[in-house]
Structure 1
Amino acid sequence: MKAKNLFKCMLVVAALFMYSCSSDSDNEPGEPTNPGGGSGITSITVTASQNSIELGGSITFTVTANDGSNVSSSSTIRVNNSAISGLDFTPTATGTYQITAQYQQINSGAISVEVTPPVITALRVESNDTSVKVGDTASFTVIGSDASGNDYTITDSATLTVNGNQISGHAMMVTAMGDLEVTASKDGLTSGVFNLPVTGETAPATFAKMAVIEDFTGTWCGWCPRVSYAIEQVEAQSDRVFAVGAHSGDNMQNSYSQTLVSQFNPGGSYPTAVINRDQEWTFPEPSNVAQATNLATGTTSSGLSLNSMVVGNNLQVYVSAAFAQNTSGAKLVVMVLEDGIVASQANYTTYYGGVDPITNFVHNHTLRHSITNVLGDAIPAGSTAAGQKHTEFFDIAMPGNVSDSSKVSVIAMIVGADNKVINAAFSKTGTAEADSDFLAN
């Protein structure tokens, strides 16, 4: 009897052991029984309040579990793989957006939401300026409104007309007095007329004095980096000294640079730099920075305002020369320069690390073209009397040797009958520095 009872006990223990094993999960140690954290949730679905909206509208997302419960408040919504805060999303651009949700360790499938351009029902034109001067650049912004009164900036996709003539882009150079009457149109809509007054430019009694360095150089010239370095030192100390790089013997040479060489560096010595077309910059130039900066201090009786901009494939330049006293024989020089030209430069100096050659040397202020005679066009005698002004507006095709029109600048000079620089102005096209007004000291 005792043996039979022992056998029965062993059968009971074995049965309990087998039941215990069969009730265990097949998961690895530490792994939850299901991704829903034991809640019984195994999948989720994200839905949008709208699958297509106009730009400016908002979407609300809902996350639903497979058991029908709403788990939105405990879920993370991702738009184009970036998590958003909360469940509402306001797109900032048109296009197709991919939406997913995550609840605990469960990820939903993706849905798409299409954001379309708003339906514009009205247009208006605005400007940051309440008035502009002759020679300034007038810039406009076009605002489109939808039926709900929401505003959108649509300048790039609208067409602007000024005084009955369509302009390129959203800005124009002002060359005459009188109000600008501006309208915008898009998709059959036309705005009301926006008026921008144009006033005259006023010259001061005296003008801040500027200076010009003309650097006669070439990529083959091993000592020329010395002058390039000196010009950088000048520019670090003064914003009243402007440089011109007149190249010879390389692919940046042109007829204008050769005329300057013949006039101001006839001996063909390199490097040579001439200040104000009057005096040679004394060697070693980096030790004589003050020679240039001292010439750009104080006042003088003549001055310039200058503006330039790229319009399509053209370069527009407005220049005004004003005279506080009679300056007979004065001439106007207007030249086109280009920055950022990369070319190997011979280097026999210790500057720029003493590397020879400098394989990616950046050549700035490179003379590309002269709109006037490079030695100057005569200003009519009646315009050089005391209290008079002479203005010119040039609209030329962008010079063919310009590599990058975004790096173009313009320099203008008043020179005397003796070719010496009386004053100068500089305009960096396409930047805030493009518009240079008369500057009093």
Structure 2
Amino acid sequence: MKIRYLFVPFLVLSIVIYSCSADYLDNRAQVDLSSITLKANIETTNIGIDQTLEFTVIGNDDVDYTANSVITVNGEPIEGTSHSFTEGGEYTFEATYSGFSSNALTYNVVTEKYLVIDRSKALRTQTVTFQLLNPNGDDATSEATFFVNGTSISGNTFSSNQEGVYEVYATYDNGVSQTEPETLEVFVPKRKVVYEDYTGAWCGWCVRVTNAVHLLKEQSDDVVVVAIHNNDEMTFPQEVQLRNTFGVAGFPTAKINRTDTAPNPEDAPSSIEYALANAGTETDISIAINTELTGNMLTVQTKLISENSIPSTHKLVVYIYQDGLVFPQTNYYVNTPGSPYYQMGNPIEDFVHNDVLETSLTNIFGDQLQSTNAFEELSINFDAVDLSTYGDTSNGNTYDPSRFGVAVYVVDENNNALNAQHVKAGLNVDFE
């Protein structure tokens, strides 16, 4: 497994490889091409009409495939690996190589001076920098006066301790001309609660935790659920280590933020309220996830940012889970009036199992993070995983890569989950 750490503005490459040996092993040659990424020399959304884009195409194996790739603009191939513009408008670029399709890069090409904001989302008190650029990309910031929510500011930097959406624009030519407005969001990270369901299809009492998960998801979007199965068709191979570490003595057990245990019965209103006590509350660390699904291959990038420094004692956990698996579920509530599983059979033959933990892209307890300063963005890329490896076609199930998802936790040195995030395979979720 290779993990790459990318710091902004400096780039640091760190490769961590797990093997049975403690010796370092560079397995770069063993990485197969499974995805390609299109990159350009200009990263901002707006660019001037007199600027030229230079493209590169990089595989997940770190090989440059630019020379043999086809790059298109709005669906039409371009000549070479660069592109210049003759008129303004919106342009979307993509690349293909050997059956692989890249991400899309979309630019708004402008014919006048334009505003550039170094980030579209910022934490409280985080400094944001504005620039005014000429259509050829030259810096004209010294000619500009910048406005935030209609009020001019001194200089070209801005920060706020108030969350909200701010409108930003610049005037120039002694105030005669004005750029198109852009938006800046100042946000406060919101905590998502980790809810881990230790379960098994053989466990007749476990459906009450399934009901608790349903109620939690119904009441809050700030819950990240993972079901860790024991001794059934969906068993997670390392569930014993997880159970032993987190003190799971019986089934069902629901763990909150990894180390706290949900009160029994887990679907009682008081237990639901207990689980949601910290859901959506303010915290300091925010998690973003970018995924790309190419056929069966899923690539994952996680990004972290914090109002406070992130110590090296913190760890990152990245799990892959699957929804929609149908297997019989033992049901001890079949004769219990008031239960949602009353008279549904024992077992419930067509029971749908969601959030099933399939694999971990990190150590199951997390990979140690590098110490990161406040407001410094930390990006961690993982090599592609073949989701078909975890497809199940028994019991009438079908394999569908869109049923998979990614769950990410940041945990402290005591394995307490400080924040979490999740997203379906092929989709992205920004800092929030």
Interval containing the TM-score (normalised by the shorter chain)? 0.5 to 0.7
The reply on whether 1:389 has 2:323 as its aligned counterpart is no
CA gap 1:231/1:131 in 2 versus in 1, 3 angstroms = farther
After TM superposition, give the deviation of residue 199 of structure 1 in Å.
6.7
8 Å CA contact retained: 1:379, 1:390: no
Q: Which amino acid aligns with 1:142?
A: G
CA gap 1:352/1:142 in 2 versus in 1, 3 angstroms = farther
The reply on whether 1:168 has 2:100 as its aligned counterpart is yes
Instruction: Give secondary structure in 2 for the equivalent of 1:234.
Output: helix
After TM superposition, give the deviation of residue 375 of structure 1 in Å.
0.7
- Highest Rg: 1 or 2? 1
Q: Which residue of 1 aligns with 2:258?
A: 277
CA gap 1:388/1:289 in 2 versus in 1, 3 angstroms = same
The reply on whether 1:204 has 2:123 as its aligned counterpart is yes
After TM superposition, give the deviation of residue 161 of structure 1 in Å.
1.9
- Specify every segment of 5 or more residues in structure 1 that has no aligned partner in the other structure, as ranges: 1-128, 133-138, 145-158, 182-196
Q: Which residue of 1 aligns with 2:301?
A: 318
Instruction: Give secondary structure in 1 for the equivalent of 2:239.
Output: helix
Total equivalences in the alignment? 265
Q: Which residue of 2 aligns with 1:435?
A: 428
Deviations 1:28-67 (A, max 9, x none): xxxxxxxxxxxxxxxxxxxxxxxxxxxxxxxxxxxxxxxx
Richer in helix (by share): 1
After TM superposition, give the deviation of residue 366 of structure 1 in Å.
0.2
Equivalent runs, 1:93-132 vs 2, <5 Å = none
Q: Which amino acid aligns with 1:422?
A: L
After TM superposition, give the deviation of residue 368 of structure 1 in Å.
0.3
8 Å CA contact retained: 1:204, 1:438: no
Q: 1:258 aligns with which of 240, 249, 264?
A: 240
After TM superposition, give the deviation of residue 198 of structure 1 in Å.
11
8 Å CA contact retained: 1:131, 1:198: no
Deviations 1:150-184 (A, max 9, x none): xxxxxxxxx9427xx67734745x8xxxx889xxx
Q: Which amino acid aligns with 2:413?
A: A
Distance in 2 (CA, whole Å) between partners of 1:203 and 1:336 is 28
CA gap 1:258/1:142 in 2 versus in 1, 3 angstroms = farther
After TM superposition, give the deviation of residue 263 of structure 1 in Å.
1.6
Equivalent runs, 1:19-38 vs 2, <5 Å = none
Distance in 2 (CA, whole Å) between partners of 1:255 and 1:140 is 46
Q: 1:306 aligns with which of 289, 300, 324?
A: 289
8 Å CA contact retained: 2:46, 2:107: no
After TM superposition, give the deviation of residue 390 of structure 1 in Å.
1.7
Q: Which amino acid aligns with 1:436?
A: V
Q: 2:352 aligns with which of 362, 376, 397?
A: 362
8 Å CA contact retained: 1:212, 1:241: yes
After TM superposition, give the deviation of residue 429 of structure 1 in Å.
1.6
After TM superposition, give the deviation of residue 295 of structure 1 in Å.
1.6
Q: Which residue of 2 aligns with 1:351?
A: 340
8 Å CA contact retained: 2:287, 2:304: yes
Deviations 1:385-411 (A, max 9, x none): 322222111232324123421100001
Q: Which residue of 2 aligns with 1:142?
A: 75
The reply on whether 1:412 has 2:408 as its aligned counterpart is yes
Distance in 1 (CA, whole Å) between partners of 2:321 and 2:233 is 15
Distance in 2 (CA, whole Å) between partners of 1:140 and 1:170 is 13
Moved more, 314-323 or 392-401: 392-401
CA gap 1:142/1:321 in 2 versus in 1, 3 angstroms = same
Distance in 2 (CA, whole Å) between partners of 1:245 and 1:170 is 32
Instruction: Give secondary structure in 2 for the equivalent of 1:334.
Output: strand
Equivalent runs, 1:220-239 vs 2, <5 Å = 220-239=202-221
After TM superposition, give the deviation of residue 242 of structure 1 in Å.
1.2
Distance in 2 (CA, whole Å) between partners of 1:226 and 1:232 is 10
Distance in 2 (CA, whole Å) between partners of 1:392 and 1:363 is 30
Q: Which amino acid aligns with 1:276?
A: N
- Specify every segment of 5 or more residues in structure 2 that has no aligned partner in the other structure, as ranges: 1-43, 48-71, 78-92, 109-115, 125-187, 334-338, 392-398
8 Å CA contact retained: 2:306, 2:375: yes
Q: Which residue of 2 aligns with 1:61?
A: none
Distance in 2 (CA, whole Å) between partners of 1:401 and 1:258 is 19
8 Å CA contact retained: 1:257, 1:367: no
Distance in 2 (CA, whole Å) between partners of 1:240 and 1:357 is 31
After TM superposition, give the deviation of residue 142 of structure 1 in Å.
2.6
CA gap 1:142/1:297 in 2 versus in 1, 3 angstroms = same
After TM superposition, give the deviation of residue 259 of structure 1 in Å.
2.5
After TM superposition, give the deviation of residue 325 of structure 1 in Å.
1.0
CA gap 1:312/1:224 in 2 versus in 1, 3 angstroms = same
Deviations 1:292-315 (A, max 9, x none): 222213210111011222113311
Deviations 1:312-371 (A, max 9, x none): 331111110112113321111110000000000001023323421100100000000100
